[in-house]
Amino acid sequence: MSDKLGIILVSETREKLQMAAMVASVGAVSGNAVSVFISMNAMKYFVKGGSKHAPAEGDVGRVLENKKAPAFDELFLQAVELGDAKIYPCSMAMDLLELDSDDLEPYVEKAMGLTRYLDEVRDAQVWTF
């Protein structure tokens, strides 16, 4: 089993953002090298000062909100601070959304293209949310 985890995050729903964040944080603090690639609808949650309130897709999403579960953005930050996690924004999505690296949260790395990311996670378990 690989000690590397790749996470491709494109969803804007609370449940998928939460699950991706849990995999990243638990994986990172468990000693895995974690590499998260954010793109498409997920990108907006990594913009400084942007909303971190993601819409619930179903009942579990609403329960997560009502029970005050740790927020997905806090879990991603913990993955970076407490483990070996790196979060990369998609360069194409950044171009489309007219963002530059200064617009993103400080724990987000420099932008990367999908080709380079796929090369980086070539020997990793890869999860998509």
**pLDDT score of 59:** 87
Q: Which CATH number fits domain 4-128: 3.40.1260.10, 3.40.50.300, 3.30.390.10, 3.60.15.10?
A: 3.40.1260.10
Read off the pTM: 0.91
Pairwise CA distance, residues 35 & 69, whole Å: 23
pLDDT in tens, 93-103: 999 999 999 99
**Would you report the helix, strand and coil content of the chain in percent, each value rounded to 5?**
45, 20, 35
> Which single residue is written with the structure tokens 């690296």?
101
Beta bridge partners of 126: 6
What ranges make up the beta strands (E) of 12-128?
33-38, 84-89, 125-128
What pLDDT does 69 receive? 81
**For the chain (length 129 residues), average pLDDT per consecutive 10?**
88 95 96 97 95 86 81 94 95 96 96 97 95
Domains of the chain, residue spans: 4-128
